[in-house]
Structure formats: structure tokens, C-alpha cells
Structure 1
Amino acid sequence: MFRLNADLTVYLHREPIDFRAGINSLAVLVQEEMALDPFAPAVFAFCNRRRDRMKLLFFDRSGFVLVLKRLTEDKFRWPRRETAVVTLSCEQLHWVLDGIDIDAMVRHPVRHYQVAG
């Protein structure tokens, strides 16, 4: 399975894109619509209208890398947020790639205990 470094920031473009877009078009979209630096140490994720394809764009010091994942029977659970750009961790991106709906995940409450002394 394809794995990204855990220290990278992931930016999801929430709205679907035209999937004919290549590296140059996506880099321009990152710069102009997302107002981010396409050369930054980050991963930029895009999805098509049917949510069955995802493209990842990142720069790896020698050039751009474009990764495409196409699902045969299912759809990606794209985050439902109000902002145009959603920031995720690499772990959350891998969850989305694995079909997990990260908006439906609920974290258990953190409890703080004191030691009696």
C-alpha cells in the first residue's frame, strides 16, 4: 500500500474538479483557488464529482508527483465541511483512502485523573 510521511500536511480541495486536469492545472489550482504554495512540503487531494476517483499532488524535491486512485465499486467519504480547503493529517488522509468517513468518527472524551497523595 502507498504510504506518505506522517509529517506532511494534507489539504483537500472540497469541491469536485475536472479529472482531465494534469499536474500543471492542479498546481495552478493549488496556487490560485486554494491560495497555497504547490512546492510546499504538503499533499493536495482532489476528487471527482462521483467521488470514485482521487488525485494526490505533491512536490518531492525533484519534481511533482501525481497519484490517482480509482475505486471500482465504492465512493470516497469526502469530508463535509464548510470551508473550501480542509486540512488533514496524513493518517486522516489514509483513512479517507481506505474508505473511512472521518466526519462520522467520534473521539472518546479525554479524562484527567489526579493521583491521591
Structure 2
Amino acid sequence: MLVNWTQPKHVFIVCGKTDLRKGIEGLAAVVAENYDLDLFDDSLFLFCGTRNDRFKGLYWDGEGF
């Protein structure tokens, strides 16, 4: 899925190293537990791993992640 970068209200970059092998449920748990943010609030969450040239994004488009 390609995200229209002008559509989300907020873009959050999760600082620190995240295990990018985690799936949707694992990344959603990181956001909900550590940052107490609403996953369904039209926000894009970007996670970076150990390599600084790789990102994984989590975005709810109204139908799924």
C-alpha cells in the first residue's frame, strides 16, 4: 500500500531501535503501551531498526493497517 503523505494528520517517528521483524500487532503494542497514542487517529507511525536506511510504517487507512 502506498500512503499519500499529505493525508495523515500526524506523523510520528518512534525513536530508538525497534525490532522490524515485529508484525502489525507487535508494532501496535509498542505504540499503545509505550506512547499511549491512539492507533486509529489518522496518524502514521514510522519505526527504524538497527540500520539507519530501513523504516517500517504503521498506518490505519480506515479499512486496515
Q: What TM-score do the two structures reach when normalised by structure 1?
A: 0.50
In structure 2, the gaps of 5 or more residues are none
Instruction: Give how far 1:6 is off.
Output: 4.7
Match of 1:59 in 2: 60
Match of 2:41 in 1: 40
Q: How many pairs align? A: 64
* Map 1:89-108 → 2, pairs under 5 A: none
Cα distance change of structure 1 residues 62 and 3 upon mapping to structure 2, 3 Å threshold: closer
Could you tell me how far apart the structure 2 residues matched to 1:39 and 1:7 are? 11
Does the 8 A contact of 1:48 with 1:54 survive in 2?
yes
Rg comparison, structure with higher value: 1
- CA deviations 1:17-60 (Å, max 9, x no partner) are 01111111111111001210111110001001121210110101
The aligned amino acid for 2:22 is A
Counterpart secondary structure, 1:33 = helix
Could you tell me how far apart the structure 1 residues matched to 2:45 and 2:12 are? 5
What root-mean-square deviation, in Å, do the aligned CA atoms of Structure 1 and Structure 2 show? 1.7
Identity score, percent = 36
Q: What TM-score do the two structures reach when normalised by structure 2?
A: 0.85
Instruction: Give how far 1:3 is off.
Output: 3.5
Structure scoring higher RCO (CA < 8 A, sep ≥ 6) equals 2
